[in-house]
A and B are shown apart, each in its own frame.
Chain A
Amino acid sequence: MLQIKNLHASIEGNEILKGINLEVNKGEIHAIMGPNGSGKSTLASVLAGRDLFDITDGEILYEGKNLLEMAPEERAREGIFLGFQYPVEIPGVSMMNFLKTAVNEQRKHRGQDPMKSSDFLKMMREKKDLVEIDSNLTNRSVNEGFSGGEKKRNEIFQMAMLDPQLSILDETDSGLDIDALKIVAHGVNKLKSPENATIVITHYQRLLNYIIPDKVHVLYGGQIVRSGDKDLAIELEEKGYDWLRKETTNQ
């Protein structure tokens, strides 16, 4: 589904991603871990098409297509979803109007008619139940005045509504209380299918008790320095990132 080959990205002349290689297949869950500032969010942004970053080398294939040539909204309509580390507030724009616009753009892209209001409301209700989000939140403006945890839940709710092929969740677990964490993980697991894939970016091994990853990668200094299975996360939890630093400098 997704192939990242030797990806280099920089901002204002500073290279942040220094040759990323990653392959994600349908049905898989990948976890990306790594210290602050190692480039995790940058990778997520580049995948979503944020034009702050210059791609200086490498390529990304998504369903066989050259992802880097696609506009961000096109990528979204083709099924890429980014759960933002810092979701943005849009005052005065209701969640309902926002999501309806988003869902209908996706439908238009697929050659479908806009959704009937009654169907849309029904879908909202179903997905709200699925991710156990409070109705009060979905009646408000997009993220406006939401608490940190509420914003994260709202990301998962939007993911449920848009039913993406490839979800990238950037620290969706940060700022969640333990119950919310379970709910979010539960939501991700329920939305999982053999047809889609998920990349979870996290600092905490604990999330991976609920979302069992097929692969765990460590992003360090703009490169993936190690990949493994879920045990790698446990090892990281015990040893921190220091032992990797030593290893990479030894190499």
Chain B
Amino acid sequence: MAKEKDQDKILQKYTQNEYKYGWVTDVESDTLPKGLNEDIIRAISKKKNEPQFLLDFRLKAFRHWQQMKMPDWAHLQIPEIDYQDMVYYSAPRQKAGPKNMDDVDPELKKTFDRLGIPIDEQKRLAGVAVDAVMDSSSVKTTFKEKLAELGIIFCSFSEAVQNHPDLVKEYMGSVVPYTDNYFAALNSAVFSDGSFCYIPKGVKTPMELSTYFRINAANTGQFERTLIVAEDDSYVSYLEGCTAPIRDENQLHAAIVEIVAKDNAHVKYSTVQNWYPGNKDGKGGIYNFVTKRGKAQGNNSKISWTQVETGSAITWKYPSVILMGDNSVGEFYSVAVTNNHQQADTGTKMIHIGKNTKSTIISKGISAGYSNNSYRGLVKITKNAENARNFSQCDSMLMGDQCGAHTFPYIETENMSSIVEHEATTSKIGEDQIFYCNQRGIDEEDAIGLIVNGYAKEVLNKLPMEFAVEAQTLLQISLEGSVG
């Protein structure tokens, strides 16, 4: 029918030019040969001039990984990955840890300018300090000195290894051990860079800290680690963004984020994940297999995860909180959009250990095209978690009838004083809703934008201002023309 043809046209128009970060930077890089073995791991460690303990950690992780099998419990179709046919280290060639802008390769500077993440402090984003990471290394961290005045350490992971090895040694792997899962083990063996952030006692960060991850090189995996340690009575709001070029072959991104929050500390971690999702036929795109976990170790500590997931061909990620301290709080706010042939299996784990611990889970899935979108969440109340509370709400929205939405909530309660509430809804984006908007003069694209942003509002409201607008636009762009 004429109508279907129109929709095809719209669909084509948007799926063909929706991803605006798909270009490649022409930059000379320092690249190790393909393949994964102990020699490669030693070579990475050597390039980064690492202390022995770190090399030992990597090798232990690698040996462990070799014994492991890729997990197959997620609701995902993951093609065979050839781990020997991949590059594990590729860094844009530049002077180590550039001190000022003149030392940064102009091509790299241009890249981040074009991504809307100027690394030149003159042009900086108001109130955001950025660690800009491309492929295997950090290009530049802004506002380092200003933050240092408050005792805040904000730098690339590699620099932390050189300048603060004790902190790295103490906390790395303390939340996500290398034995945790297949991809965590792989990351622990081959990780190349990432961000490090240490907030001393009583300090509230005066600006948003952020890491921007960019994959550029072909056939290269990106394996970064982020470690955030918040001492007593501190506060930090952390943002993470990511993009990658359009390529026909899939690329692997397996990251680890670890957060430690001590007494009364509050860490807010927000992600806008926009890795290349593949084309409309499902060719190419990033495999995003990420382990994110926070340890709310101190009494009255709080860790909040907010994520807007629009990119990647496959997403496998469960940002979690271990609620150890009494009265500690864990939050997970998520919007996951899948379109075309994207797949996502994402959710959270809230492990209640301390007394009077409280967790909130708000998950909003949106599926369009031929995509599959699953929420998977575990709420676990252990024996001693007196008066633990959880509230979970998992909503799914379907656009068209070729896509799937699934919910897998797991609840394990060992303490009878706890209260766990779970609500779930599934809705279809209504043609009648779109028509209602049309009738008020609002076209289809804007109508979808309005409706989807309204649906995801509870989550979007949790994002820092700097990201909220970008996230709203991204939601709309990811879904335009996909109504069936």
Residue A82 CB within 8 A of the other chain: yes
Question: Counting CB contacts under 8 A, is A178 at the interface?
Answer: no
- In the complex the two chains form, is B450's CB within 8 Å of A90's CB? yes
Q: How far is the CA of A77 from the CA of B458 in the complex (A)?
A: 31
A85-106 CB contacts (< 8 Å) to partner B? 87-93, 97-99, 101-102, 105-106
Contacts of B454 in A (CB 8 A): 90-93, 141-142
Q: Which of A47-55, A57-65, A114-122, A237-245 contacts B (4 or more CB under 8 A)?
A: A47-55
Contact of A93 among B441, B443, B450 (CB under 8 A): B450
Instruction: Using known A-B contacts A88-B430, A92-B457, determine if residue A82 contacts B439 with beta carbons closer than 8 Å.
Output: yes
Residue in A72, A98, A101, A142 whose CB lies within 8 Å of B435: A72
Interface string of B445-478 (1 = CB under 8 A from A): 0100011011111100000000000000000000
**CB < 8 Å neighbour of B438 from A73, A87, A89:** A73
User: How far is B438's CA from A99's CA once the two chains are assembled, in angstroms?
Assistant: 12
Query: Which one of B436, B446, B453 has the greatest number of beta carbons of chain A within 10 Å?
Result: B436
Q: What is the minimal beta-carbon distance from A229 to any residue of chain B, in angstroms?
A: 30
Question: How many Å from the CB of B2 to the closest CB on chain A?
Answer: 8
Q: Is B69 an interface residue (CB 8 A)?
A: no
Indicate whether A106 sits within 8 Å of B441 (C-beta atoms), given known contacts A90-B451, A98-B450: yes
B414-443 to A contact mask, C-beta < 8 Å, 1/0 = 000000000000000010110111111111
Instruction: Give A16-30 as 1s and 0s: 1 = Cβ < 8 Å from B's Cβ atoms.
Output: 000000000000000
Residue B3 CB within 8 A of the other chain: yes
| Distance (whole angstroms) from the CB of A120 to the closest CB of chain B | 15
The reply to whether A162 and B440 form a contact with Cβ atoms under 8 Å apart is: yes
* Max chain B C-beta neighbours (<10 A), residue from A82, A101, A162: A101
A76: interface (CB < 8 Å): yes
> Does A42 make an interface contact (CB < 8 A)?
no
On chain A, the residues within 8 Å of B442 by CB distance are 73, 101-102, 105
B-side contacts of A141, CB under 8 Å: 454
Assembled-state Cα–Cα distance A77/B438 (Å): 9
Kindly state whether residue A109 has any CB partner on chain B within 8 Å: yes
CA distance A217 to B438 in the complex (A): 28
The answer to whether B436 and A87 have CB atoms under 8 Å apart is yes
Q: How far is the CA of A73 from the CA of B444 in the complex (A)?
A: 8
Chain A residues near B450 (CB-CB < 8 A):
90, 93, 97-98, 101
A92 and B456 within 8 A (CB): yes
Point out the residues of chain A lying under 8 angstroms from B432, CB to CB: 88
Most chain A CB within 10 A, of B435, B440, B441, B458, is at B441
Cβ distance A172 to chain B, nearest Cβ, rounded Å:
14
Minimal beta-carbon separation of B383 from chain A (angstroms):
39
CB < 8 Å: which of A50, A90, A106 contacts B433? A90
Query: Is A84's beta carbon under 8 Å from chain B?
Result: yes
Smallest CB separation, A238 vs chain B (Å): 36
Known contacts being A88-B430, A93-B450, is A105 close to B436, with CB within 8 Å? Answer: no
Q: How far is the CA of A170 from the CA of B376 in the complex (A)?
A: 44
CB-based contact B453/A76 at 8 Å: no
**Chain B residue at minimal CB-CB distance from A109:** B441
Does A223 lie at the interface of the complex (its beta carbon under 8 Å from any beta carbon of B)?
A: no
Distance of A71 Cα from B445 Cα, bound (Å): 13
**A163 → B minimal CB distance (Å):** 12
Segment 89-145 of B: residues with Cβ below 8 Å from A? none
* Chain A, residue nearest B6 (CB): A51
In the assembled complex, which residues on chain A have CB atoms less than 8 Å from the CB atom of B3?
51
Q: A92-B454, A98-B450 are in contact. Are A84 and B436 (CB under 8 A)?
A: yes
Complex CA distance for A73 and B438, rounded to whole angstroms: 5
Question: Closest B-chain residue to A77, C-beta based?
Answer: B441
**CB atoms of B451 and A93 under 8 A apart:** yes
**Do B438 and A90 touch across chains, with their CB atoms under 8 A apart?**
no
Q: Point out the residues of chain A lying under 8 angstroms from B457, CB to CB.
A: 92
- In whole angstroms, what is the CA distance A102 to B450 when docked? 11
Which A residues touch B458, using CB under 8 A?
92
The answer on a CB contact under 8 Å between A92 and B439 is: no
- Report the Cα distance A82→B436, complex, angstroms: 9
Q: Is A158 located at the chain interface by the 8 A CB criterion?
A: yes
Question: Within 8 Å CB of B437, what residues of A?
Answer: 73, 90, 98, 102
**Known interface pairs A93-B454, A141-B454; A72-B438 also in contact (CB < 8 Å):** yes
Question: A49: which B residues are within 8 A, CB to CB?
Answer: 438-439
Cβ–Cβ < 8 Å partners of B440 in chain A: 76, 98-99, 101-102, 105, 158, 162
Give Cα distance in the complex from A51 to B3, angstroms.
8
Distance of A91 Cα from B451 Cα, bound (Å): 8
Among B3, B432, B435, B455: residue with most chain A CB under 10 A: B435
Which among A88, A97, A158 has the highest number of chain B CB atoms within 10 Å?
A88
Q: Beta-carbon contacts of B313-335 to A below 8 Å, as 1s and 0s?
A: 00000000000000000000000
Q: State in angstroms the CA–CA spacing of A89 and B454 once bound together.
A: 11
Q: How far is the CA of A97 from the CA of B453 in the complex (A)?
A: 11
Q: How far is the CA of A93 from the CA of B433 in the complex (A)?
A: 11
Interface string of B1-24 (1 = CB under 8 A from A): 001000000000000000000000
Among residues of A, the one whose C-beta sits closest to the C-beta of B455 is A92
A14–B33 alpha-carbon span in the complex (Å) = 67
- A102 proximity list for chain B (CB < 8 A): 437, 440-442
* A69 shortest CB reach to chain B, Å: 12
Which residues on B sit within 8 Å (CB–CB) of A81?
A: 439
Nearest CB on A from B191, distance (A): 39
A71 to B442, CA, bound (A): 11
Nearest-neighbour CB distance to chain B for A114, whole angstroms, equals 13
Pick from B436, B444, B455, B456: contact of A88, CB below 8 A.
B436
Question: A residues bordering B, Cβ < 8 Å?
Answer: 48-51, 71-73, 76-77, 81-82, 84, 87-93, 97-99, 101-102, 105-106, 109, 141-142, 158, 162
Given A72-B438, A98-B450, A102-B440: 6 more A-B contacts, CB < 8 Å? A71-B438, A77-B441, A89-B433, A90-B433, A98-B437, A105-B442
6 pairs across A/B with beta carbons < 8 Å?
A48-B435, A48-B439, A51-B3, A71-B443, A84-B436, A102-B441
In the A-B complex, list the 9 residue pairs whose CB atoms are closest, starting with the nearest. Answer: A92-B454, A93-B454, A102-B440, A76-B441, A72-B438, A92-B457, A105-B441, A88-B436, A77-B441
